[in-house]
Amino acid sequence: MLTSSSPILVTGVAGFIGYSLASHLLKNGYLIIGIDNLNDYYDVTLKHARLENLKSFSNFKFYQANIAERSQMQQIWELHPEIMHIVNLAAQAGVRYSLINPFAYIEANIMGHIVMLELARHRKGFKHFIYASSSSVYGGNTKLPFSVEDRCETPVSLYAATKKADELMTQSYAHLYRIPSTGLRFFTVYGPWGRPDMAVFLFTKAIVNDQPIQVFNYGEMKRDFTYIDDIVKGIVGALNSPPSNETALPPHKVYNLGNNISEKLLNFIHYIEDSLGKKAILKMLPLQAGDVQESLADITASERDLNYSPTTPISEGIPKFIKWYKEYYKI
């Protein structure tokens, strides 16, 4: 079991999920060493605002660094010989941007991931490597719900391919060096302090500004939307449940963190409209390259092993997001 005296390295700490996880752990007395390169993939002021909140905790230390830079990461690592847990959330996220800037994905998600694995590999007594995978690894799969037992070799975006590659690289390191590792396939995470490139944020912004919202596949999309607090609970569950290193198998497990409900996109939009008290202008468009039509997580293994149990339906989660959005943007 993780204790509050063990510092945890969280990469991508100024990002949506990294920030939310770090806030929760800091409030519970954990020591957090945070890393982020604060890149400008989306509004950097939001990343700085998250970081300012984290810096109000005395048990937080931050380094602005690129996880793909080996020597920079090595220097930071040597300053903290006590770190035995890594949560690697830094990545180039977003499916659509991977069609525009593929190299950003290779640098952060492939090079960055191997740099983090190498740090773990060379630390004597290292305890647990947790990293972000994605529901997008299920790609062209048609069997629902998506189960971690399913094969997933048909990525429909480079982003998905890099996340699957992360899982494979980690498997090889767990096999070779016995590094206890857990990969978490997040399903469309939303909530306060969320990512401006994701649907709930884009839709809210457009409705507030009387702009049309782009509804892909003519609204015939379904997503397993997962509220941020449930995701944080899932990551904490993983921190408390490292895979056993006592069997002959490589100590590496992969889990789905979803809400286990597939919501119609148009239904999701209705909740945003209701919370804002304003109608959306819909611009119906065909399916975008790289998108999957439907996602739904089978969370049986996460419930069993991580004590994971999502409790927030979109009817509760969307109003909480809208409340934060209005406060943050002073609307």
Ligand X SMILES: NC(=O)c1ccc[n+]([C@@H]2O[C@H](COP(=O)([O-])OP(=O)(O)OC[C@H]3O[C@@H](n4cnc5c(N)ncnc54)[C@H](O)[C@@H]3O)[C@@H](O)[C@H]2O)c1
Concatenate the DSSP letters of all residues of 277-326 into one string: TSPPEEEE-PPPTT--SB--B--HHHHHHH-------HHHHHHHHHHHHH
Query: Is 105 part of the annotated catalytic residue set?
Result: no
Spatial distance between the Cα atoms of 80 and 94, rounded to a whole number of angstroms: 31
Question: Which lies closer to ligand X via its Cβ, residue 116 or residue 322?
Answer: 116
Give the one residue of 90, 221, 236, 238 binding ligand X; rule: CB under 6 A: 90
Strands (E) located in the chain: 8-11, 32-36, 60-64, 85-88, 128-134, 181-186, 189-190, 212-215, 222-223, 226-227, 252-257, 263-264, 281-284
Question: Which lies closer to ligand X via its Cβ, residue 277 or residue 328?
Answer: 328
Question: Which lies closer to ligand X via its Cβ, residue 164 or residue 195?
Answer: 195
Catalytic residue of the set 131, 159, 227, 325: 159
Contact (CB, 8 A) for 299 and 256: yes
Question: Which lies closer to ligand X via its Cβ, residue 11 or residue 302?
Answer: 11
- Cβ at position 34, least distance to ligand X in Å: 10
Give the one residue of 8, 22, 37, 157 binding ligand X; rule: CB under 6 A: 37
Angle, alpha carbons 267-273-277 (nearest 5°): 150
132 is a contact residue toward ligand X (CB under 6 A): yes
- Cβ at position 264, least distance to ligand X in Å: 18
16 is a contact residue toward ligand X (CB under 6 A): yes
Give the residue at shortest CB distance from ligand X.
Answer: 15
Catalytic residues: 159
Interface residues with ligand X (CB under 6 A) are 11-12, 14-18, 35-39, 47, 66-68, 89-93, 108, 112, 132, 134, 186, 188-189, 195
